[in-house]
């Protein structure tokens, strides 16, 4: 079914998962690739067509082509990396998701307001080095995957190592706990929130420091860095699922107030750190499919509970679009800029 619609995405990030899911749900599939990546996407049988761009920034030039093919764009993390917010907003090709949420996600201040209003607990922010009264993490703006983040012990350490930084940064209370990334899917069609899967990242070298006794570290010139090298699956203690679900529901509820009427829908991820007293601190929200879901192309323990079949987040997105088509509700799962 739905042979006439094609699901399209940029060839990177979670494109394989998205396109495999689209094929499994009966859609045509299209990868928009670069010269370097086109061969990869052609090598997978579930990719019907590959369009190649010299630069991802040329994306707006193929919009008319996409519209002719009845393409529906499914965005992922590389859209924010390769296309500006303005470029994304100006696209009129049917787009799964609500672009109004992008502004709330892109600004750290707006994001904080959104998450706080949803009753989520956030690490304390410090406006200046002088305010620092506990260990903090200094986060450079625009750093991808934790690159360049600094663990700072106290105000004096800040003066020595961070005060002269040229780039913009935020200073955040350092939360000691387990980083847990929770992947959700909210269906506006049946007003239900599902926990799709969860992962934790493996970061170098902060996750390997525990392998060296603290006494041996003394005197070694080693400071933690947070560069992501991989993700591993996690199943959460069942008693903690209640709070995981509550956080997702409240984030969706508040999103309908700040970006009315549709709010946030589809895939999203709340990045948390869980402390020994079982408090979830929230570092960030990603308002789309995240790369950690690639661990679960064949489904996760949680998605199996709901579907009894392989249900990746990519496939869940295609299922939602299919359900919308079947009930004549496509507009409900697309951004309002979409010209059908
Ligand atoms: P991405 O955009 O890929 O999600 P990022 O650059 O936004 O990454 P964060 O997810 O904010 O980075 O943080 C990267 C890592 O830094 C986290 O996985 C975590 O290990 C650590 N980290 C971030 N904030 C804190 C905090 N407040 N306390 C302790 N550790 C933190």
> Which CATH number is 169's domain given?
3.30.1490
Q: Whose CA is nearest to atom 4 of ligand 1?
A: 145
Q: What is the pTM of this model?
A: 0.94
From 256, 283, 257, 254, select the one nearest 269 (Cα to Cα).
283
For residue 62, give both structure tokens.
């193929």
The pLDDT value given to residue 3: 52
The pLDDT value given to residue 258: 98
Pair 273, 283: CB distance under 8 Å: yes
Asked if residue 150 is part of any domain, the answer here is yes
Taking the chain (340 residues) in runs of 10, the rounded mean pLDDT of each run is 82 97 98 96 98 90 92 93 88 95 94 98 95 94 77 94 88 95 98 98 90 86 86 95 98 98 98 96 96 97 97 98 97 94
- The 8-class DSSP code of residue 239 comes to G
From 61, 52, 70, select the one nearest 10 (Cα to Cα).
52
Report whether residue 207 contacts ligand 1, using a CB cutoff of 6 Å. Answer: no
Q: How far apart are CA 178 and CA 307, in angstroms?
A: 28
For residue 46, give both structure tokens.
């579930």
Question: How many Å from the N-terminal Cα to the C-terminal Cα in the chain?
Answer: 18
Report whether residue 179 contacts ligand 1, using a CB cutoff of 6 Å. Answer: yes
The pLDDT value given to residue 12: 93
Q: How far apart are CA 136 and CA 248, in angstroms?
A: 26
Ligand 1 test: best mutation among 13, 14, 135, 146, most atoms within 8 Å of CB? 146
Q: Which domain holds residue 161?
A: 125-173
Asked if residue 156 is part of any domain, the answer here is yes
Report whether residue 142 contacts ligand 1, using a CB cutoff of 6 Å. Answer: no
Asked if residue 163 is part of any domain, the answer here is yes
Give me the sign of the Cα torsion angle 12, 16, 22, 28: positive
Domain count, the chain: 1
Cα 211 to averaged position of ligand 1 atoms, centre (Å): 21
Asked if residue 137 is part of any domain, the answer here is yes
Report whether residue 273 contacts ligand 1, using a CB cutoff of 6 Å. Answer: yes
Give me the sign of the Cα torsion angle 157, 163, 164, 169: positive
Pair 151, 224: CB distance under 8 Å: yes
Q: How many residues does the chain have?
A: 340
Asked if residue 217 is part of any domain, the answer here is no
For residue 147, give both structure tokens.
């690159």
Side-chain half-sphere exposure of 317, counting CA atoms within 13 A:
35
Asked if residue 104 is part of any domain, the answer here is no
């Amino acid at each position: 079914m739905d042979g006439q619609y094609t699901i399209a995405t940029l060839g990177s990030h979670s494109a394989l998962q998205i396109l495999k899911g689209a094929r499994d749900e009966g859609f045509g599939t299209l990868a928009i690739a670069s010269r370097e990546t086109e061969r990869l996407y052609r090598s997978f049988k579930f990719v019907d067509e590959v369009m190649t761009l010299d630069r991802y920034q040329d994306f707006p030039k193929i919009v008319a082509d996409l519209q002719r093919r009845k393409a529906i764009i499914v965005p992922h993390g590389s859209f924010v990396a390769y296309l500006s917010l303005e470029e994304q907003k100006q696209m009129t090709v049917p787009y799964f998701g609500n672009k109004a949420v992008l502004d709330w996600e892109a600004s750290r201040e707006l994001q904080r307001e959104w998450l706080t209003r949803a009753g989520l607990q956030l690490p304390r922010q410090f406006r200046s080095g002088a305010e620092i009264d506990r260990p903090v993490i200094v986060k450079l703006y625009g750093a991808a995957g934790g690159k360049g983040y600094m663990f700072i012990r106290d105000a004096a350490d800040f003066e020595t190592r961070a005060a002269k930084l040229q780039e913009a940064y935020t200073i955040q209370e350092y939360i000691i706990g387990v980083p847990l990334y929770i992947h959700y899917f909210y269906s506006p069609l049946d007003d239900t929130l599902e926990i799709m899967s969860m992962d934790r990242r493996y970061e170098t070298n902060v996750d390997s420091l525990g392998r060296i006794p603290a006494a041996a570290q003394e005197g070694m010139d080693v400071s933690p860095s947070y560069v992501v090298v991989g993700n591993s699956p996690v199943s959460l203690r069942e008693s903690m699922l209640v709070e995981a679900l509550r956080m997702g529901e409240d984030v969706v509820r508040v999103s309908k107030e700040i970006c009315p009427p549709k709010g946030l829908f589809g895939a999203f991820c709340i990045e948390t750190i869980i402390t020994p007293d079982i408090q979830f601190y929230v570092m960030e929200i990603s308002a789309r499919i995240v790369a950690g879901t690639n661990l679960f192309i064949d489904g996760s323990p949680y998605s199996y509970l709901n579907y009894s079949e392989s249900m990746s987040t990519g496939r869940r997105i295609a299922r939602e679009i299919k359900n919308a088509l079947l009930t004549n509700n496509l507009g409900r799962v697309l951004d309002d800029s979409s010209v059908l």
